Amino acid sequence: MAQYPFRLGRLTANSYNRLCAPLHGALETLPQLTSRSNRPLQMEFEDQLHALIYFHLQEHTSGRHLLQSLKEDAFAREYIAPKKGIGKSSFFEAMNERGLEHFLLVFEALQQQACKVLPNKHPELGELVAVDGSLIDAVLSMDWADYRKGSKKAKAHVGFDLNRSIPRKLFLTNGKGGERPFVEQILQPGETAVSDRGYQSHHDFDQLQATGKHFVSRIKENTVKTCLESYPVTEGSIVFYDAKVHLGREGVTQTQTPLRLVGYTVGGKTYWVATSRFDLTAEQIALIYKLRWDIETFFAWWKRHLKVYHLISRSRHGLMIQMLAGLITYLLLAIYCQEQFGEPVSIRRVRQLRYQILNEFRGVHIDAHTVADTSKQDIMHASP
């Protein structure tokens, strides 16, 4: 029987350091975080950042869970926690009162790095940004998180880069917060917002076109349409309608600037999609709207595997920090998976990384040559 392919070695944090390597450039340019009193800071910004990355990476479920890990988990105590440790009051003070501007700067810097590392999967379609909101369950003591009587919720408004499958913008409001106003703030000139029917607004469609921003937005089937010019439809295509139109009732809600309307059927379901993109085929417009589902997949994966909606803080400030830390963790994972494996983020690779971090700290290392030698034997093993 072949020897088991592990060997003892020196205690390290190589895998965790490799994951966090993209942070170095961003951290070097940050202004120093200062105490607001005569007491020195018990937790520097870098300590807070790494603690929250570890929170998401290891699927902790609460702030107390994280603090227990920082105290009792050998790896977290050695490489994550402040050298002198951190108490509950100091940790939650940091969450609720400082560090937000620093987290925003790190997120923006990391997002720019990710754009350089990750491949553009749809260059022929232009820069595509899905826009959507996600409700976050809150507790009744969170007075700012208005939703409805007897229920509190916050709402994360996210701009998601569909070309590279990464988040790029985040806004946080109470659960009643409208979603449409954030499209203009998320989008840059020349980019295309991709949105569902909840974002249908004829005034906003006009405004986006006036500022050089594009949109691909599903609209309600019963929307009034005034055809200005019809375009030919390819025989056998899923597309059955392609035209330049005005939307809405004349003199009431009608668009001032003509736009394009594409109708198509998939799986027996009919879609009507309004767009300002006249440079693409109707089939490409249908593909762009299909890509919108990627933001739904991201929300589901982010919530399930990084536990971003397990509240650490009840304040708006603290929740925004937690959301940003979750996005930063996802961007680090996206860069890591691309650089190490040439793959998008997957739970398989995240679990593999968790095991590597644990094994390295235990002083156990996988011997790649031994694994290769046992590949022909009846031994189950993982390989990249």
pLDDT above 70 (res 367): no
Q: Which residues contact 280 (CB under 8 A, 6 or more apart)?
A: 125, 288
pLDDT above 90 (res 375): no
pLDDT in tens, 16-35: 999 999 999 889 888 887 76
User: What average pLDDT does this structure show over 70-74?
Assistant: 92
Amino acid at 100: L
Beta strands 192-195; 151-161: pairing state:
unpaired
Closest by alpha carbon to 179, among 201, 149, 151? 201
Q: Distance (Å, rounded) from C-alpha 158 to C-alpha 170?
A: 5
Q: What are the structure tokens assigned to 177, written together?
A: 């917060």
> Could you tell me the residue ranges of all domains in the chain?
6-103+300-371, 125-291
pLDDT above 80 (res 189): yes
pLDDT in tens, 265-305: 999 999 999 999 999 999 999 999 999 999 999 999 998 89
pLDDT in tens, 94-109: 999 989 999 999 999 9
User: What average pLDDT does this structure show over 224-235?
Assistant: 96
pLDDT in tens, 130-139: 999 999 999 8
pTM: 0.88
Instruction: Decide yes or no: CATH 3.40.50.2020 for domain 125-291.
Output: no
User: What average pLDDT does this structure show over 72-96?
Assistant: 91
**What is the band of 36 on the pLDDT scale with cuts at 50, 70, 90?**
low
pLDDT above 70 (res 310): yes
